[in-house]
Amino acid sequence: MSRNKITRANKPVSTALAIPTAAELVPIVGSERALAKLPGTGGAVAREDGTVLVTGRGYATRDGVIPAAEIYFVDGLRPAGEGVWLGEADKVAWRDETTGYECIMLRATRGGYLSGYVGVPRDHPLWGWEHGAVGPDLGVEVHGGLTYSRICEDGPSPERRLVEEARRICHVPTLPSQYEPVIHATGHRPGDVHAWWFGFDCNHAYDLVPEADRQPQPFLGAEVGAEYRDDAYVIQEILNLAAQLRAVADGVPAPPRQGPPLPPIGLDPHAGG
């Protein structure tokens, strides 16, 4: 008796690589500059369809090292040409040790600029608020103002794909030292419920967009001395936002901002200044 064969579609494979040496890691992450962003030794690397995930390593900027949970490098997403963006990761996710909030730095698919996100838990006073309703009067003041507010995007799926996780604004799942697919919901960090994320972009009139052909340069960019907001700047803004949101939760005044002063909002013709 013959049996019909069940044909299954080929699924993308996430390849877990042995812990590479520094020399082996350079071609994986793309450059010596990218390697310099990954201080120390050890960790784990996984690769799928041009997307590389590094875990178990910190992420270095000119201001210090972030205790990153996940670091992604995505082929074709990093801006071309010379610039301070060379070597930067395309996504860095971590939990801020001071506030306990989840944080993400993410590169835009169009334009190549960076954005920042902070997730607050369900018991936060601003959980579910639209970003337009949250401003300096509540002690929240970030680069360009908030431009994003949304619940966790779905994920990770049981068959976790790196190419999707590299774009997702959601919790980092708990992973073993060697990359493995997440099978159960318990792969999330203990106590996880969907967070509500607030975010900001660095593509305003006073920001240099690396690939202007993929996103037009903001109006008056040259006249106002637009500059690229690098990973150090964006990560500091993320930490400022996390501290401000923590202050709202605790019912205390926002702490002093760290890092350079914000560009005058009046420079942005879309901000009503």
Does some domain include residue 266?
no
Rounded to an integer, what distance in angstroms lies between the CA atom of residue 112 and that of residue 106?
A: 10
Q: Is 140:254 a contact under the CB 8 Å cutoff? A: yes
Confidence at residue 203, expressed as pLDDT on a 0 to 100 scale: 93
CB-based burial of residue 26 (10 Å sphere; 0-12 exposed, 13-18 middle, 19+ buried)? middle
Rounded to an integer, what distance in angstroms lies between the CA atom of residue 233 and that of residue 261?
A: 11
Does some domain include residue 273?
no
Confidence at residue 214, expressed as pLDDT on a 0 to 100 scale: 46
Q: What is the mean pLDDT of the chain?
A: 82
- pLDDT score of 156 more than 70: no
Does some domain include residue 65?
yes
Count Cα neighbours of 109 within 13 Å in the Cβ-side half-sphere: 5
Indicate the pTM of the whole model: 0.83
Confidence at residue 250, expressed as pLDDT on a 0 to 100 scale: 97
Does some domain include residue 3?
no
Does some domain include residue 192?
yes
List of residues 6+ apart from 89 with CB closer than 8 A? 34, 37, 59, 71, 72, 73, 105, 107, 231
Tokens in use for 160?
Answer: 């976790």
Rounded to an integer, what distance in angstroms lies between the CA atom of residue 194 and that of residue 35?
A: 33
Residue 163 Cα distances to 9, 14, 24, 89, angstroms? 18, 10, 22, 14
Does some domain include residue 6?
no
pLDDT in tens, 10-31: 444 556 666 677 888 888 888 8
Q: Which helix (H) or strand (E) holds 235?
A: helix 231-250
Does some domain include residue 22?
yes
- pLDDT score of 4 more than 50: no
Number of domain units in the chain: 1
pLDDT in tens, 182-191: 444 444 444 4
Rounded to an integer, what distance in angstroms lies between the CA atom of residue 91 and that of residue 115?
A: 10
| Enclosing domain of residue 68 | 15-259
Within the chain, strands assigned E span: 15-17, 44-48, 51-55, 59-61, 64-66, 70-74, 91-95, 102-107, 114-120, 148-151, 196-201
Average pLDDT over residues 103-118: 96
Q: What percent of the chain stands above pLDDT 90?
A: 57
Looking at residue 153, what DSSP letter applies?
A: P
Confidence at residue 6, expressed as pLDDT on a 0 to 100 scale: 33
